[in-house]
Structure 1
Amino acid sequence: MQGFLRQQSSKAASSVLLALLLSAIAPAHAQSIQTIEQNFQTPSNAARPMVRWWWFGLAVEKPEILRELQQMKADGMQGAELAFEYPQVLDDPAKGLKNLPFLSPEFLDDVRYAQEEGRKLGLRIDVTLGSGWPYGGSNTTLAEAAGRLRVAEVPVPAGATSATEPQMEEGDSLISFAIADSKPLPPETHPRSRGHLAQPHPADFDPATARPFTLTNRTAVVSPSDHPRVALFFIASHTRQQVKRAAVGAEGYVLDPFSHQAVATHLEKVGEPLVKAFGNTPPYAIFSDSLEAYGADWTPDLPAEFQKQNGYDLIPHLPELVAGGTPEAERVRHDWGKTLTELINENYLNQINHWAIEHNTKFRSQTYGEPAVSFSSQNLVALAEGEGPQWRQFSTLRWATSANHVFGHTVTSGETFTWLHSPVFRATPLDMKSEADVDFLTGENQIMCHGWPYSPPDHKVPEPGWSLYAAAALNDHNPWHPVMPDVTRYIARISYLLRQGEPANQVAILLPTDDAWASFSPGHVTVTGAMQRLITPALMSTILSSGYNADFIDADAINSVGLGTHQILVLPPTDRIPVDTLNKIAAWVKAGGKVIAIGHVPTIDAEGKPLDASTTAFIPVVPDTSALPQALWNAAKPDLQIDFGQTNPMAVTEQDQVGYIRRKLPNADIYFVANTGNSPVGFLGTFSTTHKYVSQWNPDDGTASSPATLVLNNRITTSLAPYGSAIFVFSDEPAKPTPSHIKTGHSIDLSTNWKVNFTGLHQIETEPTLTDWTQDPATLHYSGEAIYSRDVTLAPNQTHATIEIEGGKPLPGAPNSAPEHPALLPNGLPNPLITRPGPGMHAYYDPPVHEAAIVYINGQRAGALWHPPYSLDIHKFLKPGKNHIEIHVYNTALNAWSALPPHDYKPLIAKYGDRFQMQDLDKVKPIPSGILGKILLTTGASQ
């Protein structure tokens, strides 16, 4: 499109500097498998997870800032993104609690201190360029606030010759006015002034009859008519949306993202002070959260920009735009939507990205939501980020990973754990793995943990301290925090591997962006919102279950960079397609690509003009998604064909819970395979690779857990534990295996006679049998560590052994992501078959240890148990004779939290307003804790 091309040319002046900035995330040249394996064992800092570090109030103190940075470093975090949120406490001088106003000198000095100390520790420091979200606040005036088109409808009875102009709100301006014939209304509908979330659908006026009238002294002068009519007043108004979750002093309007001046003001008044606080070491990146400027669909420059882009005047077509329902109206809405996208591209994304380059940093942006950004908009920022573990339906995480795959960027960050196992502090390491693995399958390779709550030191507030109103709380107020380094090593190893080589997703799904624009209506201008409807869960699940992985792509991307290494292009039911895109696809097919349309081929071009049938004759069509698997197979063999066996009654469910992603190197193929379900699976996998040898790598300890062996017909028999994962590396070099493997032998039951030391209570008990902590009133509300200890005597031939805690089991209610059970029904309501409400997730699994443990053998740390299978190879630490075993067990903070009286937020609300609502407080109750499975020591010989 012309606007998009203009944006590209406007970037030319900064292209060299941008290329230098992006070099840090450019694909590395080919490395040997041995080098990759060495780096896998000890991945670089750049592959480690980040945390979003919430500063509340802003009531922070330098000693605690330093302590938390040091803890992040010890936990294996790459760094922190500074995020500034709502107050949690009233000023309390006696306790040293004081809310520092946003952008005050004291606050900026704390920012300076945090980034300086973080740099000394080798941590990456990013900063959110504002407080709360979206951008805006106290420096955003009403004139620069997010705008909306408001339509006031004034009834004009039959025979009337006048109507009074409606009351204008502060900041409103009249765009135009017209009178139109009324349509009969349903009984429950009445004429009204439209709110920004309402839309006149079905229209209660006929836009084809709309005519201008004379407005004199705020009175519409009209000729009489023998039937009722409606006087329409089109008003440039404002959403008046306030910044969400703002810190003290950061309150105010959400800015107009379509306005160059509104964004420039924010960069000057907010961005400059924040980045200046970093001195000579600018932040690694500045961050913009998901676009949530709800209802923003107008800006003062829109009519002029619309005329420039589309060659006709929008104003006379406002009745059609508002009413919809006709091909002519869809064309106007399409052109209006496209213009809004170009405005936000130029004035928000491009402007902030250029500003970031000028300030020697990068723009990390969640480029989705509301309003109007498109898939290709993500190429206008240095670092495109996504979120959401909706692996088998449309997700903004796949939106971002796909854009980076298509446009050649190696690293895709993702806001991860946003809604993990509510309420806060309920999430466990296993929950983290269950979501992280789904995100890896989608293509994410930079985990941004959401998040780390700053909390005051020295017990100034009751444990477990401060937290965001929702999301996982991943700081060291969580009792299970000692295993966090094990979790971050797992994340870092897989993140590292998923940056090697090139993406190898076979299928590209063409996003019907032009259809999305044509479906826009006042108050509803979101491309990603439309894709929730246009890219169905059935489509996504069918492709994935057929053995393929997929990227999204849009017409602009096909026009600018092509379809890359994708082998198959799938067109979901699509009406509109640009002619030049259709020509590009035809040329790609002629060169060997395969295309499949579902339901029907496009019938009109982007402007709504009919396409000649001959231009789409080359596109084969399948009637619906049920016919898609065979069509995909006919087009190209899948990268990973999974066979669960004909007699397995759970085959369909298992097919839906196992996924993979592949990275293709010049000298190897890397497959990450994950079981996203809560039951074990076994299958025969046929991998589409040309390499002869395969080894399996262990992301828990960084070793090759199986020797590199010759693989026959690329077929491997695999079993995965609940929420288990595996890494297969195919190459032409047989690697040297290093680990020792235990051949199963005799099992010794160690489930009795443990001494249990509740370290936080200074209480030591002897448990003849393993017991749930919550069964004893003395430990019902205990959150913390308990050390289980005992001795075991082994003969010389028993020292090659593993220790395992058996007994985990699936929990009912796990989401079924199969096509026949989408999370949402066609009417948009939650499917009653799906028990998981909202966007969050967790592991539906009752583990044998609640929630994590660290095993020590003869005083040496042998490893952590935090996900199935709860098993460790401990042969290196055992000796003939007496061996001392300690299992340090950690639960969640919920048990101690449940003993506290409910917090009274009324004084806080009285002073600062109701800025947040803690979620699921009714679920703050004691949950099972301790070792509840059978402890087995399995001895044998190494193999």
Structure 2
Amino acid sequence: MTVHTVEQVRHALITPDPAARPMMRWWWFGPDMDRGEIDRELRAMADAGLGGAEVALVYPLRPGAPHYLSPEVLAHLRHAAERARELGLRLDVTLGSGWSYGGAHIGAEHAARRLRWERRDLGPEALDWELTASWPGDELVSVHLAEGLPPSGWHRLPVEGYRLRIPAGRGPRTVLLAWSEVTGQQVKRSAAGAEGPVVDHLSAAAVRHHLDTVGGAILGAVPAELLGSVFSDSLEVYEAGWTRDLPERFRSRRGYELLDVLHLLEVGAPEAAQVREDYGRTLSELVEEGFVATCRAWAEEHGVRFRLQGYGQPPITLGAQRGAHLIEGEGAGWTALTQSRWASSAAHLDRREVVSSEVWTWVHSPSFRAAPLDLLGEAHEHLLLGITHFVGHGWPYTAPDAPGLGWTFYAAGALDDRNAWWPAMPELTAHLTRLCAALRLGAPGAEVALYLPYADVRAARGRGHDLWAACRAHIGEQLPAAIRRAGYDLDLLDDDALAALDPAAYPVVVLPRVSRLPAETRRWLDRVRAAGGSVLAVDSPAYPDGQQLSLPEESGDDARLRDHATLAMVGARGGSDAEGEEGADGEGADG
């Protein structure tokens, strides 16, 4: 770890690194662009002290827009990149229109898929069915039969194509049919000509097809050396719980046949929790390999960095973000488990100096109500979450002849030179640049590691497709807020990070309502205690050797946690004062 002197910090505050300047997400509507306006808006960004823009091509606001990836649009992208370079600005671009990745080039073979269950009640008679798919692209995955009411003794039935023969039984029965179907989700806020299905993020072949089609066109028009990075917005591929080769991939990883026990994802049984956990873990591995690793490899092949908002659905893990060259979060709230905390925790594992966040989303809605103090206050919260770079949300391109105030994006932020307070923007950006530049010289200093209970949320029926959201709900607001309000900082940790993590890295590890704990994680916790650290088991029967604490169900601060001896020990070792005024109200918690 590099040691920086006081003089170096002073220099960073007086002459900050230009790379620390805030950027803006730059919405191109249509994309219906005027080259003169592109030049004018880039100049306005530079004059305001911004460091660059991330081009996001979204829905048209008037008829007649040229189609996405048309020669005209690609020429505008090339021009914007060249002009940005002349002005000393960084230009990034999303490898797709709207979000998530997908579009008109995605057919059923590459589209996101989900499981659909069909339940039918049967009598005792033998049946010979010719099953029919409800929609084009639907595929029958497996069939399971149970006897009696309530159903019991589930077993898988053989299927010949779509022909199902069920022998006679002794009484009422239930049959479950598992179908793999295209989710039907379309790209959100797509540009003209970019409408179409979201890509299967679990399939490397599908993701590569998207990157070659869309990214190939963009990088074919804009040289990689003119781009700061290529970008993926947050993963919002809803219900994406299947891909065509999942049974084979599951068998090779988990060592048993998924289709034999697939019904346990839908019905309750004592053994269902382990199957659900294994299924969720496999999905996480596939999105890391099929999407994150594929995007990084593609970017490296084309000489550009890959920036990722790595949370959402499919169930991407915290650790998977580390596969991107640049990690980004979003969401303010210094006491909460926001996506920014999720992102900064991943970055801290690798001691990365730069971790960005999408800021000012929906700020003081509707558009043009936000003032500099709104932006400043939210930015400070992101700094308290470990963020060291800002990507503002955002700057709406507006046509010179647009009526009224011009064009705006639906999500509130219209943070451009149409605002009456714009003369104050250079001072605001200079302030944020100084803070980010100085913080990049420091090292993460969290005293507490908060464990992410993946096994519990995966094992719970109906949860786990979005690990960040499921873990946040499982942990609750009370526990992280109590740690932060006591004056301590925290990092989130998952099982995959522990193999390479020094057990002495954090004085305290907190287990939040953990009832399922992998054996490797249990052994790592033993090493934490052997190294002199403490393991605080909060309503966590899975680790009886830790210091036990039970919290009430209701939300709100809890003095028992704030004043717990373990956290007091952190104060003694870390030199902070949990009872002091600054620790109580949160100021200085990340100093």
> Do the aligned residues in 1 keep the contact of 2:503 with 2:531 (CA within 8 Å)?
no
> Do the aligned residues in 2 keep the contact of 1:601 with 1:619 (CA within 8 Å)?
no
> Do the aligned residues in 2 keep the contact of 1:126 with 1:285 (CA within 8 Å)?
yes
Query: Could you say which residue in structure 2 is the equivalent of 1:404?
Result: 347
Query: Could you say which residue in structure 1 is the equivalent of 2:541?
Result: 601
Query: Could you say which residue in structure 2 is the equivalent of 1:380?
Result: 323
Secondary structure, counterpart of 2:491 in structure 1: strand
> Do the aligned residues in 1 keep the contact of 2:201 with 2:287 (CA within 8 Å)?
yes
Q: In structure 2, give the amino acid aligned to 1:397.
A: S
Alignment partner of 1:636 out of 570, 573, 578: 570
Alignment partner of 2:421 out of 469, 480, 486: 480
Question: Structure 1 residues 144 and 75 mapped into 2: Cα distance closer, same or farther (>3 Å)?
Answer: same
* Structure 1, 578-587 or 304-313: larger mean CA deviation: 578-587
Verify: 1:46 aligned to 2:16, yes or no: no
Question: Structure 1 residues 70 and 156 mapped into 2: Cα distance closer, same or farther (>3 Å)?
Answer: same
* Structure 1, 270-279 or 558-567: larger mean CA deviation: 558-567
Question: Structure 1 residues 561 and 357 mapped into 2: Cα distance closer, same or farther (>3 Å)?
Answer: farther
Alignment partner of 1:366 out of 309, 317, 321: 309
Residues 108-507 of structure 1: pairs in structure 2 closer than 5 A: 108-157=74-123, 159=125, 161=127, 165=131, 167-181=133-147, 183=149, 205-206=151-152, 208-212=153-157, 218=163, 220-227=165-172, 229-279=173-223, 281-323=225-267, 325-457=268-400, 460-507=401-448
> Do the aligned residues in 2 keep the contact of 1:213 with 1:221 (CA within 8 Å)?
no
> Do the aligned residues in 2 keep the contact of 1:463 with 1:477 (CA within 8 Å)?
no
Q: In structure 1, give the amino acid aligned to 2:327.
A: A
Residues 746-761 of structure 1: pairs in structure 2 closer than 5 A: none
Question: Structure 1 residues 106 and 221 mapped into 2: Cα distance closer, same or farther (>3 Å)?
Answer: same
Query: Could you say which residue in structure 2 is the equivalent of 1:10?
Result: none
Question: How big is the shift at 1:431?
Answer: 0.8
**For the aligned residues, what is the CA RMSD?**
2.1
Question: How big is the shift at 1:576?
Answer: 1.6
Mapped to 2, the partners of 1:577 and 1:282 lie a distance apart of: 47
Q: In structure 2, give the amino acid aligned to 1:368.
A: Y
Secondary structure, counterpart of 2:328 in structure 1: strand
Question: How big is the shift at 1:632?
Answer: 3.0
> Do the aligned residues in 1 keep the contact of 2:124 with 2:168 (CA within 8 Å)?
no
Name structure 2 gaps, 5 residues minimum. Answer: 552-557
Secondary structure, counterpart of 1:136 in structure 2: coil
Q: In structure 2, give the amino acid aligned to 1:383.
A: L
Deviations 1:529-571 (A, max 9, x none): 2112122110011101111111101111111233563221111
Question: Structure 1 residues 90 and 537 mapped into 2: Cα distance closer, same or farther (>3 Å)?
Answer: same
Question: Structure 1 residues 598 and 217 mapped into 2: Cα distance closer, same or farther (>3 Å)?
Answer: closer
Alignment partner of 2:53 out of 64, 70, 80: 80
* Structure 1, 434-443 or 385-394: larger mean CA deviation: 385-394
Q: In structure 1, give the amino acid aligned to 2:487.
A: G
Mapped to 2, the partners of 1:563 and 1:282 lie a distance apart of: 42
> Do the aligned residues in 2 keep the contact of 1:180 with 1:211 (CA within 8 Å)?
no
Query: Could you say which residue in structure 1 is the equivalent of 2:586?
Result: 658
Question: How big is the shift at 1:33?
Answer: 1.5
Question: Structure 1 residues 635 and 524 mapped into 2: Cα distance closer, same or farther (>3 Å)?
Answer: closer
Secondary structure, counterpart of 1:660 in structure 2: coil
Deviations 1:80-125 (A, max 9, x none): 111100011123xxxxxxx121110110000000000000111011
> Do the aligned residues in 2 keep the contact of 1:181 with 1:210 (CA within 8 Å)?
no
Question: Structure 1 residues 280 and 212 mapped into 2: Cα distance closer, same or farther (>3 Å)?
Answer: closer
Question: Structure 1 residues 304 and 167 mapped into 2: Cα distance closer, same or farther (>3 Å)?
Answer: closer
Q: In structure 1, give the amino acid aligned to 2:560.
A: A
Question: Structure 1 residues 214 and 484 mapped into 2: Cα distance closer, same or farther (>3 Å)?
Answer: closer
Mapped to 2, the partners of 1:124 and 1:599 lie a distance apart of: 48
Question: Structure 1 residues 520 and 409 mapped into 2: Cα distance closer, same or farther (>3 Å)?
Answer: farther
Question: How big is the shift at 1:167?
Answer: 4.0
Question: Structure 1 residues 211 and 363 mapped into 2: Cα distance closer, same or farther (>3 Å)?
Answer: closer
Identity of aligned residues (%): 37
> Do the aligned residues in 2 keep the contact of 1:317 with 1:332 (CA within 8 Å)?
yes
Secondary structure, counterpart of 2:271 in structure 1: helix
Secondary structure, counterpart of 2:91 in structure 1: strand
Mapped to 2, the partners of 1:131 and 1:216 lie a distance apart of: 38
Question: How big is the shift at 1:491?
Answer: 1.1
Query: Could you say which residue in structure 2 is the equivalent of 1:58?
Result: 31
Q: In structure 1, give the amino acid aligned to 2:67.
A: P
> Do the aligned residues in 2 keep the contact of 1:337 with 1:517 (CA within 8 Å)?
yes
Q: In structure 1, give the amino acid aligned to 2:482.
A: T
Residues 540-689 of structure 1: pairs in structure 2 closer than 5 A: 540-563=480-503, 565-602=505-542, 616=543, 618-624=545-551, 626-629=559-562, 630-637=564-571, 640-641=576-577, 657-662=585-590, 671=591
Q: In structure 2, give the amino acid aligned to 1:87.
A: P
Secondary structure, counterpart of 1:30 in structure 2: coil
Higher relative contact order (CA 8 A, sep 6+): 2
Q: In structure 1, give the amino acid aligned to 2:106.
A: T
> Do the aligned residues in 2 keep the contact of 1:282 with 1:360 (CA within 8 Å)?
no
Query: Could you say which residue in structure 2 is the equivalent of 1:508?
Result: 449
Question: How big is the shift at 1:250?
Answer: 0.6
Query: Could you say which residue in structure 1 is the equivalent of 2:554?
Result: none
Deviations 1:667-706 (A, max 9, x none): xxxx2xxxxxxxxxxxxxxxxxxxxxxxxxxxxxxxxxxx
Deviations 1:18-44 (A, max 9, x none): xxxxxxxxx7x4333233213202312
Query: Could you say which residue in structure 1 is the equivalent of 2:555?
Result: none
Secondary structure, counterpart of 1:470 in structure 2: coil
Mapped to 2, the partners of 1:142 and 1:627 lie a distance apart of: 54
Question: Structure 1 residues 39 and 247 mapped into 2: Cα distance closer, same or farther (>3 Å)?
Answer: same
Mapped to 1, the partners of 2:283 and 2:544 lie a distance apart of: 33
More helix by share: 2
Mapped to 2, the partners of 1:280 and 1:344 lie a distance apart of: 26
Question: How big is the shift at 1:178?
Answer: 2.1
Secondary structure, counterpart of 1:116 in structure 2: helix
More strand by share: 1
Deviations 1:346-394 (A, max 9, x none): 1110011111112121111011001111111111111111110132222
Secondary structure, counterpart of 1:253 in structure 2: coil
Deviations 1:441-486 (A, max 9, x none): 11111011010000011xx112321111113110111121111111
Question: How big is the shift at 1:52?
Answer: 0.4
Secondary structure, counterpart of 2:262 in structure 1: helix
Question: Structure 1 residues 295 and 656 mapped into 2: Cα distance closer, same or farther (>3 Å)?
Answer: farther
Alignment partner of 1:90 out of 41, 63, 66: 63
Secondary structure, counterpart of 1:586 in structure 2: helix
Secondary structure, counterpart of 1:352 in structure 2: helix
Residues 769-918 of structure 1: pairs in structure 2 closer than 5 A: none
Verify: 1:100 aligned to 2:63, yes or no: no
Secondary structure, counterpart of 2:9 in structure 1: helix
> Do the aligned residues in 2 keep the contact of 1:364 with 1:385 (CA within 8 Å)?
yes
